[in-house]
Chains A and B, each alone.
Chain A
Amino acid sequence: MDHQFQLSDSYKKWTYGLIGAGVIALIYGFIMFHPFALAAHGKNVNSTRFWAVLLQNSVFFLLVVNAAMFFICVTTMAMGGWVVAFRRVSEAISSVVPILGVITFVILMAIIFGERTDIYHWLDKEAVAKDHILNGKKGFLNPVFFSVWSFITIFLWWFLGKKMRSMSLDSDKKDAMNYETGKRWIWNNTVWASLYSIVFTLTVASTIPWLWLMSIDAHWYSTMYSWYTFASTFVSGVSLIALYVIYLKNRGQLKYVTEEHLHDLGKFMFAFSVFWTYLWFSQYMLIWYSNQPEETKYFIERIGTAEKAGPYKGIFFFNLIINFLCPLLILMKRGSKRNWTMVTIMAFLIIFGHWIDFYQMVMPGTLHEHATLMPFEFGIASLFVGLIMWGTGRYLSKHSLLAKNHPFLKESMIHHT
């Protein structure tokens, strides 16, 4: 069987359709929202909305595609053989990192150097000088460190991911490996995967969410925040992998992927949904319990107080229902994790749910009560979805879908849960 995949016309139509819709939304935003008009808190709401929506979507989708490479790296380090049958799918998704990375970087720089104090309050030099808390954070929250560290981060994600992908692609060109060469190849993969994971720990699991998202609420901090962001994007990344695996399987590709692989992907979706909830709850309960005004501020902006409901109360709890209760109750059953339709529905739901999660992370600190969920918000999201489809489709149609010389291929073929 040929493992070369040709993109179908409907896939291309959807890709260009989504990108087109996104570009229209973007142009609409450029014309209608005056994105370069400066706005202090709550003054020029439309201009704030433009950048807040771009920030939410670019960061979310970048971290989601990046999670696909993390998935490869953790399974490599754990000597996980079962993923090899669909390894190229995760590689394809991770190949979008440079595209979205550049876009995200441009957006971040536009926010930083456009001095958008409505997005990042700590950009306001006068306010920082008078503010005891922000002054203390000045060493970390400043434009230079922000830009340099964002640049290094995105560069390393691209560079180390590229290395992992090219090692996999190179193995296709050579003959089947024997025990010695295979062992060396796996060792090399493990070394690069470890390097990637160290960078991942220093970025996604710690500093990057602090810089890009948590600093929106500049006075507030939470030690759970980065793990929470990581869990959010990792579960979405695994869901995206599952969606592509199911799509390709429907197209008659990925011969060696069976229900067993789907079952394990479903377990990942289930487990990390619960992990996300664990972090969500830990962050919430500790702040609720200790009841310190400077900490509860974050939740008061979202759900409000007992006397007055906040503007995000609905979204805040809706978030918990679709990201926790639905995966918990629906994916709990063995049969539903092995059901292609059910996993598809749940993967869509989880990605959408975590997009909403990011929405309620970004909007309350920037737009306060003015946030909306209108065609503009969904249009920008569709731009990024279209870009992911474009980049992933390009990789899938350019390279063989089977890493045919991977030493663990047989292990993956006979995988049985």
Chain B
Amino acid sequence: MAGGIKKFVVGSFDDEKVLFPAVKNVRKAGYKIHDVYTPFPVHGLDHAMGIRETSLHTAGFIYAITGTTTALTFMSWVFTKDWPLNIGGKPHFALPAWIPITFELTVLFSAVGMVLTFCYLCNLAPFVKKHHFHPRATDDLFVMVIECTDKTNADELQSFLQTAGAQEINVQIAETGWWIGRYHKEQKLYKEEKGY
């Protein structure tokens, strides 16, 4: 599940207040932001980066109606066709009695489905590894990663980030996708993994 190997310019910021105008200016200058890694959720950053609205809730809705139909079809099949039981003289098709179970399955399907979808979208899974652009992104740095395209001049971009207020700037060539395996002391690229 490799995304490919690309060249990135990485700028690290130590303040939200510097980060926001920097994100804005970088976008305005026409550079392509790969992602911004932050130690905590930054309110409004997705908006500043111009990321489209997530479709996770649409997926959630689809999982939910899957749960609803699963519950209703299964129970109506069991209680009217497969094994009809007389429960307190109620009709076999006892819809009110099924509503709580239908509700529970709706919630269960949408919750589990959305968690798994979220993990997939964020490239999170057991035993899966992903390249870290800066270890302090999980501690106290806001790490902005800019992808170098054919037209990007990496040197120019570095000085651009310097003026935007970045504390540390470097260039990295890294795997963008996720892979199953281990990290090494010197990180191996996906290309060097067995079975590439």
Measuring CB to CB, which residues of chain A are less than 8 angstroms from any residue of chain B?
Answer: 281, 284-285, 288-289, 291, 306, 332, 334, 416
Contacts of A289 in B (CB 8 A): 96-97
**B44 in contact with A416 (CB, 8 Å):** yes
Which of A288, A306, A334, A416 lies in contact with B96, CB distance below 8 A? A288
Q: Given A416-B43, A416-B44, is A332 in contact with B97 using a C-beta cutoff of 8 Å?
A: no
Assembly CA distance A285 to B97 (angstroms):
7
A334 and B57 form a contact (CB under 8 A): yes
Q: Identify 19 residue pairs between A and B in the complex whose beta-carbon atoms are under 8 Å apart, listed by A's number.
A: A281-B96, A281-B99, A284-B96, A285-B96, A285-B97, A285-B99, A285-B100, A288-B96, A289-B96, A289-B97, A291-B88, A291-B89, A291-B90, A306-B91, A332-B61, A334-B53, A334-B57, A416-B43, A416-B44
Distance (whole angstroms) from the CB of A136 to the closest CB of chain B? 28
> Nearest 10 CB-CB pairs, A to B?
A285-B96, A288-B96, A281-B99, A289-B97, A284-B96, A285-B99, A416-B44, A416-B43, A291-B88, A289-B96
Give B91-108 interface residues, CB cut-off 8 Å to A: 91, 96-97, 99-100
- Interface size for B (C-beta < 8 A) is 13
> What CA separation (Å) do A416 and B44 show in the bound complex?
9
A71 to chain B, nearest CB (A): 26
Task: Say how far B175's CB is from chain A's closest CB, in angstroms.
Answer: 34
Bound Cα distance A332, B44 (Å): 22
Q: Which residues of B contact A284 (CB under 8 A)?
A: 96
Instruction: List chain B residues, Cβ under 8 A from A281.
Output: 96, 99
Smallest CB–CB gap between A112 and chain B, Å?
A: 37
Residues of A within 8 A of B89 (CB): 291
Cα A284 to Cα B96 with chains together (Å): 8
With a cutoff of 8 Å between Cβ atoms, the chain A residues found around residue B100 in the complex are 285
How many Å lie between the Cα of A284 and that of B90 in the bound state? 15
Determine how close the nearest CB of chain A comes to the CB of B99; give it in whole angstroms.
6
Q: How far is the CA of A281 from the CA of B100 in the complex (A)?
A: 10
Please provide the chain B residues from 31 to 71 with a CB less than 8 Å away from any CB of chain A in the complex.
Answer: 43-44, 53, 57, 61
Within the complex, the shortest CB–CB distance from B97 to chain A, in Å, comes to 7
Cα distance A288–B57 in the bound complex, in angstroms = 34
Minimum CB–CB distance from B178 to chain A (whole Å) comes to: 29
Q: What is the bound-complex CA distance between A281 and B44, given in angstroms?
A: 39
**Residues of the A chain whose Cβ atoms lie less than 8 Å from the Cβ of B88:** 291
Task: Tell me, in angstroms, the Cα distance from A372 to B91 when the chains sit together.
Answer: 32
- Per the bound structure, the CA–CA distance linking A334 and B44 in Å amounts to 16
Q: What's the nearest-Cβ distance from chain A to residue B126, in Å?
A: 32
A315 to B152, CA, bound (A): 66
Chain A residues, Cβ within 8 Å of B99: 281, 285
Whole-angstrom CA separation of A334 from B52 in the bound complex = 14
> Complex: how many Å from CA A289 to CA B87?
10
Say how far B56's CB is from chain A's closest CB, in angstroms: 11
Across-interface contacts of A288 in B (CB, < 8 A) = 96
Known: A291-B90, A332-B61. 9 other contacts (CB 8 A): A281-B96, A281-B99, A284-B96, A285-B96, A285-B97, A334-B53, A334-B57, A416-B43, A416-B44
The residues of B that contact A306 with a CB separation of less than 8 Å are: 91
B186 to chain A: closest CB distance in Å? 43
Which residue of B43, B44, B96 has the most chain A CB atoms within 10 A of its CB atom?
B96
Q: In chain B, what residue has the closest Cβ to A332?
A: B61
Closest residue on chain B to residue A281 by CB atoms:
B99
Q: Give the CA-CA distance A408 to B110 in the complex, in Å.
A: 37
A334–B90 Cα distance when bound, in Å, is 40
Q: How far is the CB of A338 from chain B (nearest CB, A)?
A: 11
Chain A minimum-CB-distance residue to B87: A289
Report the minimal beta-carbon distance from A122 to chain B, rounded to whole angstroms: 30
A291–B88 CA distance with the chains assembled, in angstroms: 9
Measured between C-beta atoms, what is the minimum distance from B60 to chain A in Å? 10
Interchain CA distance A289-B97 in the complex, whole Å: 7
Q: Which residue of chain A lies nearest to B44 when distances are taken between CB atoms in the complex?
A: A416
Interfacial chain A residues near B97, Cβ < 8 Å: 285, 289
Give min CB distance, A288 to chain B, whole Å: 5
Residues of B within 8 A of A416 (CB): 43-44
Chain B residues with CB under 8 A of A291: 88-90
Q: Looking across the interface, which residue of chain B has its beta carbon closest to that of A288?
A: B96
Residues of B within 8 A of A334 (CB): 53, 57
Instruction: Tell me the nearest residue of chain B to A291, going by C-beta.
Output: B88
Residue on A nearest B100 in the bound complex, by CB? A285
Report B144 CB to chain A, min CB distance, Å. Answer: 22
B44 / chain A contacts, CB cutoff of 8 Å? 416
Q: Which residues of A contact B96 (CB under 8 A)?
A: 281, 284-285, 288-289
Least distance between B43 CB and chain A CB atoms (Å): 7
Give, as a whole number of angstroms, the nearest-CB distance from B12 to chain A. Answer: 26
Kindly report which residue of chain B lies nearest to residue A287, judged by CB atoms: B96
Distance (Å) between the CB of A292 and the closest chain B CB?
A: 12
CA distance A91 to B100 in the complex (A): 39
CA distance A119 to B190 in the complex (A): 80
Residues of A within 8 A of B91 (CB): 306
Report the Cα distance A288→B90, complex, angstroms: 9
CA distance A416 to B43 in the complex (A): 9
Chain B nearest CB: distance from A107 CB in Å? Answer: 36
A264 to B99, CA, bound (A): 28
- Report B128 CB to chain A, min CB distance, Å: 30
Complexed CA–CA distance, A332 and B90 (Å): 34
